[in-house]
Amino acid sequence: MKIIAYGIRDDERPYVEEWSKEQGIEVKAVKELLTDETVDQAEGFDGAVVYQQKPYTASVLDKLAKFGITNLSLRNVGVDNVDADAVKRNGFKVTNVPAYSPAAIAEFTVTELMRLLRHTPQYANRQAKGDLQWAPDIATELNTLTVGVIATGRIGRAAMQIYRGFGAKIVAYDVFHNPELEKEGIYVDTLDELYKQADVISLHAPATKENFHMLNAEAFGKMKDGVYILNPARGDLIDTDDLIAALDSGKVAGAALDVYEKEVGIFNADFGSFDAIPDERLKNLMKRENVLVSPHIAFYTKTAVRNMVQFALNNNKQLIETGKAENVVSFD
Domains assigned to the chain: 2-100+302-322 (3.40.50.720), 102-293 (3.40.50.720)
| Residue pair 208/182 in contact by the 8 Å Cβ criterion | no
Q: Which of 154, 204, 296, 306 is the catalytic position?
A: 296
How far apart are alpha carbons 118 and 139 in whole angstroms?
Answer: 5
| Residue pair 97/74 in contact by the 8 Å Cβ criterion | yes
Concerning whether 296 is annotated as a catalytic residue, the answer is yes
Q: What is the pLDDT of residue 332?
A: 81
Q: What is the pLDDT of residue 78?
A: 82
In 103-233 the beta strands, taken as DSSP E runs, fall at 146-150, 169-173, 200-203, 227-231
pTM listed for this prediction? 0.91
Q: Give mean pLDDT in consecutive 10-residue pieces for the chain, a chain of 332 residues.
A: 97 97 97 96 98 91 97 91 95 94 97 98 96 96 98 97 98 96 97 98 93 97 98 97 98 98 92 97 98 97 97 98 95 86
Beta carbons within 8 Å of 255's beta carbon, 6+ residues apart: 116, 228, 229, 230, 231, 243, 247, 285, 290, 291, 292
DSSP, residue by residue, 2-31 = EEEE-S--TTTHHHHHHHHHHHT-EEEE-S
Q: Which of 119, 204, 234, 306 is the catalytic position?
A: 234
How far apart are alpha carbons 241 and 238 in whole angstroms?
Answer: 9
Q: What is the pLDDT of residue 77?
A: 86
Concerning whether 234 is annotated as a catalytic residue, the answer is yes
Concerning whether 177 is annotated as a catalytic residue, the answer is no
**Helices and strands in the chain, H and E counts:** 12, 11
Q: Which of 263, 281, 321, 326 is the catalytic position?
A: 263
Beta carbons within 8 Å of 270's beta carbon, 6+ residues apart: none
How far apart are alpha carbons 171 and 321 in whole angstroms?
Answer: 44
| Residue pair 114/254 in contact by the 8 Å Cβ criterion | no
DSSP, residue by residue, 208-236 = -TTTTT-BSHHHHHTSPTTEEEEE-S-GG
* 273 CB-contact burial (10 Å; exposed 0-12 / middle 13-18 / buried 19+): exposed
